[in-house]
Structure 1
Amino acid sequence: MQGSYKGILYPARLPTFNRLPAPTSVEHLVQWFWIPEWDIEPGRTSRQHVIAYPACNLVVGLEGVVLAGPATRAGYQDLSGNGWAVGALLRPAAVPLLTEDPAGCRDAEVDYPAVELHRSVVAAMSPLPSDAHDGGTRRERAVEAFVLWLASFAGAGLSEEAALANRMMELLATDPAVLRLEDAASALAVSPRTLQRVARKYIGLSPAALIRRRRLQDAAERVRLNPSADLAAIAAELGYADHAHLSNDFRKYLGFTPSRYRTSVGEGG
């Protein structure tokens, strides 16, 4: 998964970045683990822009552990000096294990009391002599430590509701045919009201917001990978009424138009 950059607006700016798949034992709780590492020369800053996946992340850094809530807009992180982070993109089923109110940490990061997780991941990310010719070893150790911590309190299996929450997120994040709440409810054989309730409890965003985020991520990826693509054609392909509606969503949630994004990507961000 190392080459997957969906949701990252300017991959060329990235320092070392890896996405590692979740082992089978926690794949009902984690979509994947992500690990950036950076070494920025003194006096410089690297700004990383993202259209965040509409989910919670549990992130371990040198300073501690934070629960990053679901994002409603594009954001950025300024990197300087040298450092790393080890994050888990959580599936909805994991969220109630960590917070009773995911909407309460929307667009925010809150300190999470996980001393043992922090200790074990920091130890794993500390290079050993045997790592000299294998840069991935410490990342694998960090994921193993994260998995052990999650498994220690998550328990086995999922409730029917938690499993529905996972299926809903997977559907809304991947199926381009799902453009409305009613489409998702029909595909999952539940009522729209049920999906709204499950989204509120397990994600902290509405199903409509999840659909919108998928379309924005897909649109940005198409523009980035094919700068000469016709924007009106991209809008039609992704289910927008027209180019103007796509531009309005870009402006409202990302802060710039598709045309401006295309230009900035061409300029190297």
Structure 2
Amino acid sequence: MTASARSLGAGVLHPGTAATRFSLNRHRPPEDLAPFVDFCWVVRWDLRGEPAHEQAILPHPNVNLAFEAGGPAVYGIDRRVFARKISGAGAVLGIRFRPGGFRPFYSAGKISTLNDLVVPAGDIFGPTADRACTAVLAAASSDEAMIAAGAGLLRAAGPRPDPVIDQVAAIVDRITADPGLRRVASLADVFGLPERRLQRLFAEYVGVSPKWVMRRARLHEAALCADAGGNVDWAALATDLGYADQAHLTRDFTATLGVPPSRYAAEGR
């Protein structure tokens, strides 16, 4: 495998180990789908003759559409650590939507109704989803060809531009740019929105609350620091991330990732 730990980026836990088990390439979306799509990703692995690998992922506040051998599926925001086991050889195309970007494709209700669920894509896009998946997997030797086949499904859905997507995506960007941000009221003031309106927008478009996004941004930053190697001053990091003290960071990290941050860092080394 040739992917570097750095290319795997935030979200993939213990990326140094992950890079030896599979490759992950990210691509900008086709220009006409950029209002809705954050990026496209392709994972490839060849573990034939080797043990299966289980990869843990700390999800972001994004809905994903995946085209894989088991069929196409829409992955709502998983509020826990997500684990996936791979074995043999294979490839998957994923489309990660911008925060709020899946709303024009989902007529069944608020995006929050997808939380912690994996929904067959045919339930949302109809029978064309399975045909698109067949085309994607038939093009598995080329990232570009896979993306082109997957993009066709989104175009056929005819999504309409929605200015609210830009609004909520900008709010999420503001949170992730400052993992130390702690108060939803302060965030609402920055964007000139009543706090209750902000909460409703996130439930309908993003799927999770602003507070959840803030907490997850802090954990992503803590995991990145741990994965970077070297000694981490956890007390200083806790302060930088807006925690009252190191104990609060440790409790939050342990409750979500299952191990304290110092142990997580040691496991990575």
TM category, shorter: 0.7 to 0.9
Q: Distance in 2 between matches of 1:8 and 1:147?
A: 24
User: How many pairs does the alignment contain?
Assistant: 257
2:72 alignment partner, SS class: strand
User: In structure 1, what is the equivalent of residue 105 of structure 2?
Assistant: 97
The answer to which of 40-49 and 194-203 deviates more is 40-49
User: In structure 1, what is the equivalent of residue 42 of structure 2?
Assistant: 35
- 140 and 242 in structure 1: CA distance in 2 versus 1, 3 angstrom threshold: same
Q: Distance in 2 between matches of 1:196 and 1:213?
A: 16
User: In structure 2, what is the equivalent of residue 261 of structure 1?
Assistant: 264
Summarize deviations over 1:107-154 as a string: whole Å, max 9, x none.
2211120443443354344359xxxxxx6xx11111122223212324
1:265: how far off? Answer: 0.5
- Taking structure 1 as the reference length, what is the TM-score of the superposition? 0.87
Question: Is 2:42–2:143's contact at 8 Å kept on the other side of the alignment?
Answer: yes
Structure 2 gaps of 5+ residues are: none
Structure 1 gaps of 5+ residues are: 129-134
- 81 and 64 in structure 1: CA distance in 2 versus 1, 3 angstrom threshold: same
How much is the aligned-residue C-alpha RMSD, in angstroms? 2.2
Summarize deviations over 1:172-193 as a string: whole Å, max 9, x none.
2333353221122122111111
Q: Structure 1 segments of 4 or more deviating over 6 A?
A: none
1:229: how far off? Answer: 1.8
- Taking structure 2 as the reference length, what is the TM-score of the superposition? 0.87
Matching residue's letter, 2:151: V
Question: Is 2:58–2:80's contact at 8 Å kept on the other side of the alignment?
Answer: yes
Question: Is 1:96–1:201's contact at 8 Å kept on the other side of the alignment?
Answer: no
Question: Is 2:57–2:82's contact at 8 Å kept on the other side of the alignment?
Answer: yes
User: In structure 1, what is the equivalent of residue 115 of structure 2?
Assistant: 106
Identity %: 26
Q: Distance in 1 between matches of 2:96 and 2:50?
A: 31
1:86 to 93, 112, 118: 93
Q: Distance in 2 between matches of 1:146 and 1:264?
A: 37
The answer to which of 247-256 and 17-26 deviates more is 17-26
1:214: how far off? Answer: 0.7
Matching residue's letter, 2:103: V
Q: Distance in 2 between matches of 1:58 and 1:40?
A: 24
Summarize deviations over 1:71-114 as a string: whole Å, max 9, x none.
11212101011111111111213235224243333222111204
Matching residue's letter, 1:95: R
Matching residue's letter, 2:101: A
1:156: how far off? Answer: 4.5
Q: Distance in 2 between matches of 1:124 and 1:109?
A: 19
1:234: how far off? Answer: 1.2
Question: Is 1:47–1:78's contact at 8 Å kept on the other side of the alignment?
Answer: yes
- 230 and 85 in structure 1: CA distance in 2 versus 1, 3 angstrom threshold: same
Structural mapping, 1:229-268, within 5 Å? 229-266=232-269
- 157 and 110 in structure 1: CA distance in 2 versus 1, 3 angstrom threshold: closer
Q: Distance in 2 between matches of 1:177 and 1:218?
A: 10
Question: Is 1:58–1:67's contact at 8 Å kept on the other side of the alignment?
Answer: yes
Q: Distance in 1 between matches of 2:42 and 2:132?
A: 15
Structural mapping, 1:81-230, within 5 Å? 81-91=88-98, 92-98=100-106, 99-113=108-122, 114=125, 115-126=127-138, 138-158=142-162, 160-176=163-179, 178-230=181-233
